[in-house]
Amino acid sequence: MNTPLTAIIVGAGHRALTYALYAHEHPDELKIVGVADPTLFRRESVAREYKLTPEQLYNDANELAAHPKRADFIINGTMDQDHVPTALPLLARGYDMLLEKPMATSEEELAQLAEAAKKYNCKVSICHVLRYTPFYTAIREEVLAGAIGEVLNVQAVEHVSYHHMAMGFVRGKWNRKDVCQSTMLMSKSCHDLDVITWMKSGVAPVKVSSMGGDFQFREDKAPAGAGTRCLVDCPIEADCLYSAKKHYIDHPVRWEQYVWHPIEEIENPTIEDKIESLKGDNPYGRCVWKCDNDVVDHQSVVIEFADGCTATLNMIGGAARPARYLHLVGTIGEIQGCIEDSRFVVRSIDPRSGHEYAERVVELDAVGDISGALGGHGGSDLKLVQDFIEVIRGGKPSISSTSIEDSIAGHSIGFAADRSREESSVVIL
């Protein structure tokens, strides 16, 4: 039996703590031996969870990096703008790393990170968890098996639900580029850009164009009479689709890992505690039309690959139903499906008399919560950790495994798309 690998959590937020749960489910494979986070409460919380000593707690990545290497790898779940600044000193110390997406917030950072991983010979895997869902894994297997021939067009669509949009990108901590340094395309849909490039793995994207903007979550679109805080001064709250009470009190578990962060030090907060928080300075109590958000709520991206294949991504925030659709068209067939339906269809050209095409439906196991509203991605979070542990041990990575090299194309498309949108230009990669 192998000795468990050891990991240190850097940035003890929701994402890192989710990956760390693998240590509870598989203690024979992973042990958490430290945490670095600037918040005392979070350090102490992780210490209780994983029975850590004071010597295993660090204020930040730099303090951790000042010590000799103390674990096999890092689970880096810091905020977007902190990914590269925290990763660089730890890579220099020789740590392998599981790094939350987006792995960088600029092309310059992307190059720095890739160079450091190569210089220090570190294994770095990016947390593109959707690759590990049954839906996308099975589709990739069909492509690799040649089921549709050469892929000549990829159509990806992401519908971000109204409650996810309001939580993360209007009221929440990804609502301003000058704060988190990421655009909505990069913080939300780099998953989808990664899927597109994964389906074209080995073929470089060469040209990108994009358009989009904030269509609805701005003050001039506010309903007549809307206040500034839902539970303080809004006479239309009871009829509002974006009422903070409806989103976060009536659905107390939905997005709880983010919404109740301002009162995380209260153990088992009551409904009254939560209402008082929303009435106070909790940003999730704000009117969605009167926030300080500046990211887009919809964006379309067009991509051309070196072999002539084209691809599109349409990201729309504020949809009634969260959904991700994928449609691949190849030279001898096509694949079409929606991940929330846990199924896709493979169609093949059939020129026989009386036929037009053959169709095969692939039914998958239900994947549960995909959007992350309840904390997961259909179980793929822990599959990603399992795969990374196998890679560190020297085993063969799965087809879903994503290294820095695998992720550069998707990130490059995202950075180029945002530049294209801002400059009204076509960007050559």
For CA atoms 182, 187, 190, 192, the dihedral sign is: negative
User: What pLDDT is stored for residue 352 in this prediction?
Assistant: 92
Domain boundary among 82, 101, 126: 126
pLDDT of 5 > 60? The answer is yes
257, two tokens: 């890992």
Tell me: do 108 and 207 sit in the same domain.
Answer: no
Tell me: do 107 and 164 sit in the same domain.
Answer: no
103, two tokens: 């792995």
- Please give the average per-residue pLDDT across 125-146, as a whole number: 96
Which of 240-249, 290-299, 364-373 bottoms out in mean pLDDT, i.e. has the lowest?
A: 364-373
CATH number for the domain spanning 183: value is 3.30.360.10
At 34, which amino acid appears? G
User: What pLDDT is stored for residue 234 in this prediction?
Assistant: 98
171 pLDDT band, cuts 50/70/90, is very high
Domain boundary among 110, 126, 142: 126
Domain boundary among 101, 126, 151: 126
pLDDT of 368 > 70? The answer is no
pLDDT of 370 > 80? The answer is no
405 pLDDT band, cuts 50/70/90, is confident
CA atoms within 13 A on the CB side of 92: 13
**Is the residue at 384 inside a domain?**
no
- Please give the average per-residue pLDDT across 400-407, as a whole number: 89
CA atoms within 13 A on the CB side of 265: 7
- Which of these, 227, 210, 274, lies nearest to 429 by C-alpha position? 210
Q: Evaluate whether 377 touches 129 at the Cβ level (below 8 Å).
A: yes
Tell me: do 26 and 48 sit in the same domain.
Answer: yes
Q: Evaluate whether 11 touches 42 at the Cβ level (below 8 Å).
A: no
Tell me: do 206 and 320 sit in the same domain.
Answer: yes
343, two tokens: 């199924």
Tell me: do 60 and 117 sit in the same domain.
Answer: yes
**Is the residue at 387 inside a domain?**
no
SS3 call for 19: helix
| Domain interval for residue 325 | 130-217+295-377+399-428
Pairing, β 426-428 against β 124-126: unpaired
User: What pLDDT is stored for residue 254 in this prediction?
Assistant: 93
**Is the residue at 388 inside a domain?**
no
Pairing, β 323-330 against β 151-161: antiparallel
Tell me: do 304 and 416 sit in the same domain.
Answer: yes
- Please give the average per-residue pLDDT across 244-265, as a whole number: 94
Q: What is the pLDDT of residues 257-278, one digit of tens each?
A: 999 999 988 989 999 999 999 9
CATH number for the domain spanning 19: value is 3.40.50.720
Q: What share of the chain is helix, strand, coil (3-state, %, to 5)?
A: 40, 25, 40
User: What pLDDT is stored for residue 2 in this prediction?
Assistant: 78
Tell me: do 88 and 16 sit in the same domain.
Answer: yes
- Which of these, 325, 351, 352, lies nearest to 340 by C-alpha position? 325
Provide DSSP, 329-341.
Answer: EESSEEEEEEGGG
For CA atoms 330, 156, 191, 304, the dihedral sign is: positive
Instruction: Please calculate the CA angle 326-327-329 and round it to the nearest 5 degrees.
Output: 150
User: What pLDDT is stored for residue 345 in this prediction?
Assistant: 98
% of residues, the chain, pLDDT over 70: 97
- Which of these, 344, 372, 365, 363, lies nearest to 165 by C-alpha position? 372
SS3 call for 316: strand
pLDDT of 376 > 60? The answer is no
User: What pLDDT is stored for residue 365 in this prediction?
Assistant: 83
pLDDT of 198 > 90? The answer is yes
User: What pLDDT is stored for residue 69 in this prediction?
Assistant: 98
Tell me: do 209 and 226 sit in the same domain.
Answer: no
Q: Distance between CA atoms of 211 and 206, rounded to whole angstroms?
A: 18
**Is the residue at 394 inside a domain?**
no
- Which of these, 128, 132, 83, 106, lies nearest to 402 by C-alpha position? 128
User: What pLDDT is stored for residue 269 in this prediction?
Assistant: 94
Contacts of 196 (CB under 8 A, 6+ apart): 154, 156, 303, 311, 313, 410, 413
Q: Evaluate whether 342 touches 350 at the Cβ level (below 8 Å).
A: no
Tell me: do 190 and 314 sit in the same domain.
Answer: yes
User: What pLDDT is stored for residue 403 in this prediction?
Assistant: 86
Tell me: do 199 and 304 sit in the same domain.
Answer: yes
Residue with tokens 């919380």: 45
358 pLDDT band, cuts 50/70/90, is very high
Q: What is the pLDDT of residues 414-425, one digit of tens each?
A: 999 999 999 999
* Number of domains present in the structure of the chain: 3
Q: Distance between CA atoms of 91 and 96, rounded to whole angstroms?
A: 7
Mean of all residue pLDDT scores within the chain? 95
Provide DSSP, 106-134.
Answer: SHHHHHHHHHHHHHTT--EEE--GGGGSH
Tell me: do 202 and 227 sit in the same domain.
Answer: no
Tell me: do 15 and 95 sit in the same domain.
Answer: yes
**Is the residue at 237 inside a domain?**
yes
406 pLDDT band, cuts 50/70/90, is confident
Contacts of 52 (CB under 8 A, 6+ apart): 32, 33, 34, 35, 46
**Burial of 41: CB neighbours in 10 Å, binned 0-12, 13-18, 19+:** exposed
27 pLDDT band, cuts 50/70/90, is very high
Dihedral of the CA atoms 33, 123, 145, 197 (nearest 10)? 110
pLDDT of 94 > 90? The answer is yes
**Is the residue at 290 inside a domain?**
no
pLDDT of 367 > 90? The answer is no
pLDDT of 140 > 90? The answer is yes
**Is the residue at 391 inside a domain?**
no
139 pLDDT band, cuts 50/70/90, is very high
**Is the residue at 389 inside a domain?**
no
- Which of these, 339, 418, 415, lies nearest to 131 by C-alpha position? 339
SS3 call for 174: coil
